[in-house]
Amino acid sequence: MGNNLLFHRPIPRLIALKFAFLCRERRSSNGIRVAIVGAGATGLSAAGYLVCRGYEVDLYDKLPLPGGLMTFAIPKHRIPLEEVMEGVEDLRRNFGVEFNLSVKVSCGDGIDECDDLAKGRIDLQELSGDYKALLVATGTWKSRKLGLEGEDARNVYTAIDYLRKLHLRILGLEGEGMRLGRVLVIGGGLSAIDAADESINYGADEVLLVYRRTRKEAPAGEWEMRRLEERGVKILELASPKRFIVENGLVKLVELQRMMLSEPDETGRPRPVPIEGSEFSIEVDTVVKAIGEVPTPPIYSGCNLLNPSDGLKVDQDFRLIGNIFAAGDVVTGPSKIGRAVKQGLQAARKMDELISKGKIG
């Protein structure tokens, strides 16, 4: 979203319907059990590879349905939910993959977005002891903050939280609806596009998208911006929020400031610079912060396995430590579906090689 809601181009039907696309049917079991933590694109593709090699695979995920962001964030016109669930059901029914859902697997105590959907918790280190190998594929479930006055108001959401709330309602997993009214989406990445799209789909009265550069520099690309305009979204370029004006716990006005482009920054894009005295305000009912996500390794303070401040650093074999491996966005940062799937396949292949050569356990 910003830049992570990462599954943004239709994926090949072969992958969408059959994660175990390397084999036509289940082969004889090799008697070896492996675990995968995270049932998104990386975890599902890794599971598909491993079952084709004869492994018994158990998948764990904190969400109530498999698919990760494909299920709980990406609009269905990009990746139809039916295709994701068809691939999941193929793994379960035809290849014996066991899905353990609404379960948070972690080492130490910590909370990321959407953890409230988990009904149970399992210690990562203890879980790894029950399997020959374990793959961490927990993605990016933590949003960046603006650091502005009023951004903790009740009607200000991160893109992850906003999209999952809408999707839970659409999926029939949450009864309470949301009145969106006039929605302001902040950001120029793919998650901002998704938030704007789903706001329209859900029936918002009006949708505005504000970006501090021009659409030419937007990570989502000019084509996506034009498509949103064709759907009725108003694009506000060269503007950035300065503060949120809150009444009774809700943002009523967003004060924005005009920007101009200066010399390139570290990304190579022109740096947005505030124009003094150019402030203006917009009335809003809902605000969505779509300014990017960061990796969420299930390693927190108090973990005696790894130092959480070090992040997940894997070797050339995707090994983290001992029999624990890691791959996908939790290692690389936000990416798109192709890279996530590729990482899952590569990590699974390395796990298989090391197990076959007796280099694990």
Instruction: Give me the residue label for tokens 């799937």.
Output: 341
pTM of the model as a whole: 0.91
Q: Hey, which bits of the chain come out as E strands?
A: 33-37, 56-60, 98-100, 103-106, 120-123, 133-136, 142-143, 156-158, 182-186, 206-210, 234-236, 239-247, 250-264, 270-283, 286-289, 293-294, 319-321, 324-326
Burial degree of 8 (CB within 10 A; 0-12, 13-18, 19+): buried
pLDDT single digits (tens) 162-213: 999 999 988 888 767 789 999 999 999 999 999 999 999 999 999 999 999 9
Boundary of a domain, candidates 239, 256, 289? 289
Question: What range does the domain containing 164 cover?
Answer: 145-289
Distance of alpha carbon 332 from alpha carbon 216, whole angstroms: 25
Q: Tell me, what's the pLDDT at 17?
A: 57
Task: Compute and round to an integer the Cα radius of gyration of the chain.
Answer: 21
Do residues 237 and 314 share a domain? no
DSSP 301: B
CA angle, corner 116, sides to 72 and 156, nearest 5?
A: 70
Q: Is residue 7 part of a domain?
A: no
Boundary of a domain, candidates 273, 289, 305? 289
pLDDT single digits (tens) 285-303: 999 999 999 999 999 998 9
Q: Is residue 8 part of a domain?
A: no
Domain of residue 62, CATH code: 3.50.50.60
Do residues 167 and 250 share a domain? yes
Q: Is residue 66 part of a domain?
A: yes
What are the φ and ψ backbone dihedral angles of 251, each rounded to 5 degrees?
Answer: -70, 125
Do residues 263 and 282 share a domain? yes
Mean pLDDT of the chain: 92
Q: Is residue 208 part of a domain?
A: yes
CB distance 156 to 251 below 8 Å:
yes
pLDDT single digits (tens) 4-61: 333 333 434 434 458 999 998 888 999 999 999 999 999 999 999 999 999 999 999 9
Q: Is residue 152 part of a domain?
A: yes
CB distance 7 to 336 below 8 Å:
yes
Number of domains comprising the chain: 2
Distance of alpha carbon 352 from alpha carbon 51, whole angstroms: 11
Q: How far is CA 207 from the centre of its chain?
A: 22
* Across 102-127, average pLDDT: 95
Do residues 171 and 236 share a domain? yes
Do residues 101 and 156 share a domain? no
Do residues 275 and 347 share a domain? no
Do residues 280 and 309 share a domain? no
